[in-house]
Structure 1
Amino acid sequence: MRKEIDVTITDDGRDEGKTFHIKEMPATRAEKWAMRALLAVARSGIDLPDDFTSMGMQGIAIMGIKAITKIAFDEAEPLLDEMMECVTFKPNLENPAIVRPLFEGDIEEIATLIQLRQEVINLHIGFFTKGGQSKSTSNLPSPVSSSSNTETSPGPSVRFSQRAKPRSGN
């Protein structure tokens, strides 16, 4: 089941009190989105540090947000639009079951748009933050002796920081 959250805007302004519903993209779609974003960043000439993957997904997301300012708008626009497809609007707080797609004018403040984009990113990568614990459940029986603070993986088994270098003479 995909993760879902409601976000009620508390900042002063035209969107104060409005509630938006955010639903996680399916994994295959999210992976393709992330790959397109990463490739766009790479094409823009951004130099990612060699220890890029050791920064954790939150660090990678922060770098990505900074790097997106270097991406040509024609590449960034579909990525930004696709992020907002995760967001719907709850126009009636008295009946929270009513959820509809966003219409032009539902979001009236740029700060709200930025906050919702950040919430979309957090929903998708929040489980990668350092020290984060898996939220998954299993129907498998638990081991006889288990500890909630046992590390299960010391790190990635493949080193992803080895970026491909352009070939010369081709």
Structure 2
Amino acid sequence: MARKEIDVTIADEGRDQGKTFHIREMPATRAEKWAMRALLAAARSGVELPDDFAGMGMQGIAIVGIRAITKIDFEDAEPLLDEMMECVTIKPDPRNPAIQRPLIEGDVEEIATLIQLRQEVINLHVGFFTKGDQSKSISTQSPASTSSNTAMSPEPSVRFSQRAKPRSAS
């Protein structure tokens, strides 16, 4: 089965409005190593892990990681944040969506866009959000992307809108 992929088009006003980003799931071995490095960084920073941590699965591990993010030293967090963005490419020409390339400085001009893209990376990997969640980006999931989702926050994001629709295989 192919890795999950989504397109995210920024819908709200701002310098990134109308830009389309493509997110592709990490290979399982890379995702596992990323998660382990994140957990070790959390543990080094004094985050208490629940007793049933080993049996929590990737979604539980990610929830613990999100709760720990404010306690992790930036030196530990920075490479993890950078690696998350390696899953993201941009489709720079709306008239030719088949063209995509790695991100370069200046492709993302709003902090809120970076936060949204990171949220979408996590969602793609561990299925956090329900399809009814009111994230405010337009996400197009490939047919292989059928994960179960759990809402992270009772409050919807106010900056992006999310709409899932089938995407043709490439």
TM-score (norm 2): 0.70
Q: 1:75 to 1:16 in 2, by over 3 A?
A: same
Q: Per the alignment, in what secondary structure is the counterpart of residue 89 of structure 1?
A: strand
Matches of 1:106 and 1:85 in 2, distance apart?
A: 13
In structure 1, the gaps of 5 or more residues are 130-134, 137-170
In structure 2, the gaps of 5 or more residues are 131-143, 146-170
What's the % identity of the aligned pairs?
A: 82
Match of 2:7 in 1: 6
Match of 2:91 in 1: 90
Residue 26 (structure 2) pairs with residue 28 (structure 1): no
Residue 108 (structure 2) pairs with residue 107 (structure 1): yes
Residue 125 (structure 2) pairs with residue 124 (structure 1): yes
User: Any conservation in 1 of the 2:123–2:129 contact (CA below 8 Å)?
Assistant: no
Q: Per the alignment, in what secondary structure is the counterpart of residue 97 of structure 1?
A: coil
Q: Per the alignment, in what secondary structure is the counterpart of residue 6 of structure 2?
A: strand
The structure that is helix-richer by fraction is: 1
Deviation at 1:54, TM superposition (A): 6.7
> How does 1:62-101 map onto structure 2 within 5 Å?
62-101=63-102
Match of 2:40 in 1: 39
Match of 1:50 in 2: 51
Deviation at 1:52, TM superposition (A): 4.4
Matches of 2:16 and 2:41 in 1, distance apart?
A: 32
Question: RMSD across aligned C-alpha pairs, in angstroms?
Answer: 2.3
Residue identity matched to 1:40: A
Q: 1:38 to 1:120 in 2, by over 3 A?
A: same
Query: CA deviation digits over 1:12-66, x for unaligned, max 9?
Result: 2111111000011111111100010011111111112334467664454233122
Deviation at 1:127, TM superposition (A): 8.1
Q: 1:11 to 1:60 in 2, by over 3 A?
A: farther
User: Any conservation in 2 of the 1:58–1:128 contact (CA below 8 Å)?
Assistant: no
Q: 1:20 to 1:128 in 2, by over 3 A?
A: closer
Matches of 2:129 and 2:35 in 1, distance apart?
A: 14
The alignment covers a number of residue pairs equal to 131
Q: Per the alignment, in what secondary structure is the counterpart of residue 12 of structure 1?
A: coil
Q: Per the alignment, in what secondary structure is the counterpart of residue 106 of structure 2?
A: coil
Match of 2:140 in 1: none
Query: CA deviation digits over 1:81-108, x for unaligned, max 9?
Result: 0000000000111111100110111101
> Rg bigger for which structure?
1
Matches of 2:17 and 2:48 in 1, distance apart?
A: 39
Matches of 1:103 and 1:73 in 2, distance apart?
A: 22
Q: 1:128 to 1:35 in 2, by over 3 A?
A: farther
